[in-house]
């Protein structure tokens, strides 16, 4: 197959691994910076150009689109879909995952366990907003944040009010969530491919920190998950519509609760901590499922 990887940096671990594995299995791999693409969106013959050359005859595309370029990256991916190229994760599903509020609403509608979450805009609602999630301590999140950026733990009501008002002063959209104290700075990243959890790791926040993201200095190790955790992770990815996803789960006293469904989960942490060849499983999934024109949405939405 001829496979495109939408990535701004070919030196990133995840991108390099996918290229290496794809080439070792006989595929033609090309890393494409989506910001360097431009498109002819005519209805008769949609086309994409990269460095003045048309991108043609691709069988599949692997989107590794960073959060900071979601809008343009998804426009490029939709163009591939309009051309009938199979997308590992489709544009509509990635768009859902990047909109934290929408993804949480979708999960809630299907009965997936989540921390109590509130969303509001008017400063007059701050007191009731805090009460809705059970009071302090609580977590305040920027809707547009990623990798733990824009996530604040407010340990007292006064601190919560200050943080919420500060974010609103910046005209930022925020979520306020119940703080799962019993998680003790740990979460579980379940790596989903298709309808299976292929690897899972426990991430531990560094001392004095509650965010367990590896980009924030957290550590990770192999963990055995329960059947309920496995089922919850697979269902969450399916509800959002992702073939490949990283589902982040906390162990609460009420059972597993989903924090986030990530459409571009990194490979380095999961492969290093679990010793699993996740990149090969991704390419194998594409070999089995990729077919011209097989996208469900064909660039719609």
pLDDT digits (tens, 9 = 90+) for 188-207: 999 999 999 999 999 887 76
- To which residue do tokens 């989540």 refer? 114
Neighbours of 251 (CB within 10 A): 19
Chain segment 136-154, per-residue pLDDT in tens: 899 988 776 555 567 888 8
Cα–Cα distance, 97 to 122 (Å, whole number) = 25
pTM to 2 decimals?
0.87
Report the pLDDT value the prediction gives residue 165, as an integer from 0 to 100.
83
Q: Could you say which DSSP state residue 47 is in?
A: E
Q: Could you say which DSSP state residue 215 is in?
A: G
Neighbours of 194 (CB within 10 A): 16
Higher pLDDT, 169 or 72: 72
Q: Which CATH superfamily is domain 182-284 in?
A: ATP-grasp fold, B domain (3.30.470.20)
What is the pairing mode between strands 2-6 and 60-63?
Answer: parallel
Is the separation of the CB atoms in 3 and 22 below 8 Å?
yes
Domain boundaries, the chain: 2-95, 117-179, 182-284
Tell me which fold the domain 2-95 belongs to.
Rossmann fold (3.40.50)
Cα–Cα distance, 185 to 208 (Å, whole number) = 9
On whether the 117-179 domain is CATH 3.40.640.10, my answer is: no
Is the separation of the CB atoms in 263 and 74 below 8 Å?
no
């Amino acid at each position: 197959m001829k496979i495109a990887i939408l990535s701004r940096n070919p030196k990133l671990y995840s991108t390099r691994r996918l290229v290496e594995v794809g080439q070792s299995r006989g595929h033609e791999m090309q890393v494409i910076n989506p910001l360097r693409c431009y498109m002819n969106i005519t209805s008769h013959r949609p086309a994409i150009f990269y460095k003045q050359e048309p991108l043609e005859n691709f069988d599949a595309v692997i989107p590794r689109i960073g959060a900071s370029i979601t809008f343009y990256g998804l426009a490029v991916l939709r163009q591939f879909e309009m051309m009938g190229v199979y997308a590992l994760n489709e544009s509509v599903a990635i768009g859902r995952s990047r909109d934290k509020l929408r993804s949480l609403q979708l999960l809630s509608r299907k009965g997936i366990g989540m921390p109590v979450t509130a969303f509001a805009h008017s400063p007059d609602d701050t007191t009731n907003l805090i009460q809705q999630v059970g009071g302090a301590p609580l977590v305040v999140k920027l809707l547009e944040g990623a990798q733990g950026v824009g996530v604040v733990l407010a340990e007292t009501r006064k601190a919560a009010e200050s943080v919420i008002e500060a974010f609103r002063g910046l005209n930022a959209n925020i979520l306020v969530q119940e703080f799962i104290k019993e998680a003790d700075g740990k979460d579980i990243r379940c790596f989903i491919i298709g309808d299976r959890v292929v690897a899972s790791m426990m991430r531990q926040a560094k001392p004095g920190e509650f965010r367990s993201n590896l980009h924030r200095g957290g550590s990770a190790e192999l963990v055995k998950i329960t059947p309920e955790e496995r089922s919850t992770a697979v269902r969450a990815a399916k509800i959002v519509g992702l073939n490949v996803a990283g589902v982040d789960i906390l162990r609460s006293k009420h059972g597993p609760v989903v924090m986030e469904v990530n459409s571009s989960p990194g490979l380095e942490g999961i492969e290093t901590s679990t010793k699993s060849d996740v990149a090969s499983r991704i390419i194998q999934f594409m070999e089995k499922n990729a077919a011209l024109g097989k996208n469900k949405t064909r660039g719609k939405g």
